[in-house]
Amino acid sequence: MDFQQDFKGKVVIVTGAGGGLGGEVARQFAKAGAKVTVADFDVQNGLKVVKALKAMGSEAIFVEVDVTKEESCIAMVDATVKAFGGVDILVNNAGKGGPHVGYPLTRIQSEDWDISFQVNVRGTFFCVKAVYNIFMKQKHGKIVSLSSIAGKAGDPALPHYSSAKAAIINMSQAYAKEMGPYNINVNVVCPGLIYTPIWESLGSKLAESLPTVYPNMTARQVFEDSVKKKIIMKREQTEEDVAYAVLFLASEAAKNITGQALNVDGGAVM
């Protein structure tokens, strides 16, 4: 997809951009001519992404951020404005679940709920709050947050994560109503099944916790079994699939789309 006209010279912040999905979102924006702030808690991987973007000839900076801390999110935005002169687009990609999986739900501990809501919900709120005055003053801006199909159809293995991702959708609808009159679009992308390091970890936990459901399966086999059972189109999604959806919602082609949660899931949730 060619978004050169939409993003050339625009300034984009992508949180969680040191990971596979966030890194691909950052790469696609850079490819389209945007200036990118790669924001992540993981310094080493974040710097690797910046190096790759600069090798493409793009302008990019790395900012270490902890989205669970409001002052860190403010510092992230301040660093972006200092480097690039402003902010046009915010992508809330940073996300995390707890260390336990449910099924039964009694496996879930309070720390799972705390981590899921601190990173996914509070983190999204703090990042939006950090760009709020800039976007409202300039009367334009695009906010795209990453949820999950688990946020639309709760996953019994991940009730804490599902609830947090559902909160992102509802919160984004509230922001869309408030900020829409100021030419600010707020939308959500809900990925389906992508074999990222996070899913690899989840697959291992599921195989260990549910040996009768996933007998002697590797993490990859658990993932492929889930794709077979859940995805109507019988193929896994890719980081590129999701990145394209993010760029679309941040583009002028989507100027009249706001408050929506777009599934990129091969028909898993309808």
- List, by residue number, the catalytic residues: 161
Place of tokens 């309070």: 110
Query: At CB < 8 A and 24+ separation, what contacts does 210-214 make?
Result: 210/103, 210/157
| Helices 197-209 & 219-230 angle (0-180, nearest 10) | 90
Burial 130-154 (b: 16+ CB within 10 A, else e): bbbebbbeeeebbbbbbbbbbbbbe
d(CA 193, CA 196): 9
End-to-end, the C-alpha distance of the chain in Å comes to 25
Burial class (CB in 10 A: 0-12, 13-18, 19+), 2: exposed
d(CA 143, CA 152): 20
User: Pairing mode, if any, of strands 89-92 and 60-64?
Assistant: unpaired
91, 34 Cβ separation under 8 angstroms: no
What are the structure tokens assigned to 250, written together? 């941040």
CA angle 128, 189, 19 (to 5 degrees): 80
d(CA 6, CA 135): 17
